[in-house]
Amino acid sequence: MRNTILTVLVSIMLLSMCPGCASNAGQADDKLKKPAVEDGDRNIIRSIDFVNNRAFKDKALLKRVDFEVGDYLDPILADAYRRTLAEFYRKKGFPFAEVTLDTEQLEQGRVVYSFNEGQKVKIASVNFSGNDSIKTSALRNAIKTKTTKWFFWPAFFVEEVPAEDVARLQTIYHERGFLDFDITDKKDFTNGKVNITFEINEGPSYTVGKIYFTGATHFDEEKLLKGLQLEPGQVYHERRALTHVKQVLKLYRENGFVDAAVEENYLFTKEPNVVNLEYKIREGNQFRVGRVDITGNEQTQDKVVRRVLDEYGFMPGEFYNADLAPREGNGKLEQYVQQMTLSQEVIIRPVTPASGADNAKDIKVDIKEGQTGSLMFAGGISSDSDVIGQVVLEQRNFDITDWPENFGEFITGNAFKGAGQTLRVALEPGTVVSQYSVSFSEPYFKDKPISLNLAGSSWEREIERHGDHRLYDEGRTKGYVGFEKRYEDKWRKSIGFRAENVEVDSIYIQAPKEIKDVEGYTFLTGVRFGIGRDLRDDLFNPSKGYKFNIGYEQVVGNETFGILQGNIVGFRTLHQDLADRKTVLAMKLLGATTFSYAPPFERFYAGGSGTYSIRGFDYRGISTRGLQTNVANPQRKDPIGSEWIFLANAEVAVPVVSDNLSALFFIDSGAIDTGNYRAAVGTGIQILIPQWSGPMPMRFEFAVPFMKDDEDETRVFSFSMKGLF
């Protein structure tokens, strides 16, 4: 009773303070939660409503406005979100959408947006007119405005996209020497569809008159002209002219001209449709490397970073190579340090030296460390190895000398870290192939550009003859140590040692004598010498350059023989479309041979998609055949390997959607010591999704042999996760 009287008294007091409030207690409670709109209360948002919105629900539209009930009401901001909502509709294919804000309701604290959505417009056709010099197909591939394809892939009109395409087409024509062009987009709306036509007035193309340099004192004109793709009398091509800007800038920057700048200008002449080409150079001063300071590396040792810098010539007294480490950042040297240290970010900047020297630049290296250790559980499948599971423990900033001082350091992962070494433990059981390995690598042995690699592994595989029987099981237990020295001109020399125990068992009763002769264990030791060079422009997705390797291994133990192998892979850009996507030709030559008698498990087998790939044939589907045993009429049926092999493959990758999806067209061919020359032609697709497959693309390939031997085993479809060859 006492509480009731107090409640009534409080209600009376509140009502007396708010004469405009409702008279009943329930309404009084509501007013306490959402005050009445009086004077200063008009600046509070009481409600947000959407009217006549059929295409999108209130919840979706509410995400486009950055306020909510109870917030301060800003009429200017409310009107700005009206424009935001209209823009949202236009980008979703409603070009005629209109949104209004009810100003009368706004005065009462209620935000009400009314929609006149209009009709959603599909793009019916995209056409070009007046493009006499550039093919329509090339222009169509360069723009983002696309037509509706099939029923499930509609393309809706967004007003900004054709405008952006006009700018893109203008750039294309300008790059090709058309300096007086005019490009507009015309839109014809009919019955919920639009036909878009890009009307092009190309005008004349201009040719190059004179080519000269201004501001250059350090290099002569002959050196500055080297590599220029334009000559007097040729059609002016801005992309080629700008490419040479980069070449001249590279020349200056890699010789210590940190502040060098190069600008390309075309100058109209009195002669009609002719321009002179001027390269305006501002050299600046030439600098050498002073002091090197490294910050931000709490776990990674300084020497890990300094060794990378030293390998690329960033040592005190050397010219500051601003091509590798430009003042503006995002240089290749930053990428190299980031890859070596697995940092989240690396920033390298030239700074004024503390000594005050005017011919030097100190280097400041700022590192934001990242996660260097990982434990991965994964699985994979390929046409060569079937299904494989993976449990991989890896630390790529390992320090073998940093033993834990206590058990807590070991548990928290603060031990064995900081020297830039790599330790990898992999357990990879599979249905056909199983392998288990531990590997360690030191990229700078004794702080020099020499890699030390140690590995121990166990490997098992069922050697099958598809559709018939399993020939035998092969297992290998192997230890390896190798060194590779890197040189400034991209040459590499290597030496490696292996000790391996090979087990052959579960041999098929009709297997050839060559297989039965190696039943049981065979112990081998080998030393391999190699030399190679890698001049590719990109490690994972090359478009030009080449790499080659040649090596010889002498093997002794239960068997004595030698293996000589060499290969070269070259890359060339065949075409670069108007969207800068590259069609790349990759060519591979490989040759290998054995000396003396090598056992079957050390000989060469072609087919599949591995090192000795000839797609269109099964894994190990191309091989010399051994004579059957324990049969009345023996035949040469089962593979025993070839004493030599030769491969010649060519592949063209054509980008379809950016660089992540490419069409493949290839010819693989080769020969072994028996049978005819083999060749297959095929096609496929390559998918690169870094979040799924990392830097290696997934490949799905179909190939059909048109030259083969009767005993060869073929396979039309193959799947793998690897790069070109």
Residues 720 and 384 sit within 8 Å (Cβ to Cβ)? yes
* Helix, strand or coil, per DSSP, at residue 137: helix
Whether the per-residue pLDDT at 723 is higher than 70: the answer is no
Say which range, 338-352, 379-393, 420-434, 639-653, has the weakest mean pLDDT. 379-393
| Domain housing 78 | 44-119
Say which range, 34-38, 137-141, 294-298, 662-666, has the weakest mean pLDDT. 34-38
Task: Examine the domain organization and report whether 112 and 255 are in the same domain.
Answer: no
- Using the 8-state DSSP alphabet, how is residue 598 labeled? P
pTM of the entire predicted model:
0.71
Task: Examine the domain organization and report whether 537 and 679 are in the same domain.
Answer: yes
Arithmetic mean of pLDDT, 420-428: 91
pLDDT tens for 114-165 read 999 988 888 989 999 999 989 998 898 888 888 866 555 678 888 889 999 9
Q: Residue 416 falls within a domain, yes or no? A: no
User: Which residue carries 């049978």 as its tokens?
Assistant: 675
Arithmetic mean of pLDDT, 273-292: 93
Helices and strands counted in the chain (H then E): 14, 30
Burial of 308 (0-12, 13-18, 19+ CB in 10 A): buried
Whether the per-residue pLDDT at 380 is higher than 90: the answer is no
Query: pLDDT: is 413 or 338 the higher one?
Result: 338
Task: Examine the domain organization and report whether 673 and 568 are in the same domain.
Answer: yes
The rounded distance, in Å, linking the Cα atoms of 490 and 279 is: 31
Arithmetic mean of pLDDT, 475-499: 95
The rounded distance, in Å, linking the Cα atoms of 235 and 237 is: 6
The length of the chain is: 725
Query: Across the chain, what does the average pLDDT equal?
Result: 86
Read off the CATH number of the domain in which 622 is found.
Answer: 2.40.160.50
Task: Please tell me the predicted confidence (pLDDT) of residue 411.
Answer: 59
> What b/e sequence results for 25-55 when a residue is b if at least 16 CB atoms lie within 10 Å of its CB, and e otherwise?
eeebeebeeeeebeeeeeeebbebebeebee
Task: Examine the domain organization and report whether 486 and 526 are in the same domain.
Answer: yes
Count of structural domains, the chain: 6
Single residue among 176, 201, 226 that ends a domain in this structure: 201
Q: Residue 680 falls within a domain, yes or no? A: yes
* Helix, strand or coil, per DSSP, at residue 578: coil
Task: Please tell me the predicted confidence (pLDDT) of residue 61.
Answer: 93
Q: CA separation (Å) from 212 to 220, 413, 585?
A: 11, 61, 35
Task: Examine the domain organization and report whether 475 and 522 are in the same domain.
Answer: yes
Whether the per-residue pLDDT at 545 is higher than 90: the answer is yes
Of the ranges 214-218, 226-230, 537-541, 721-725, which is most confident? 214-218
- What does the CA dihedral 537, 538, 544, 545 come to, rounded to 10 degrees? 60
Q: Residue 420 falls within a domain, yes or no? A: no
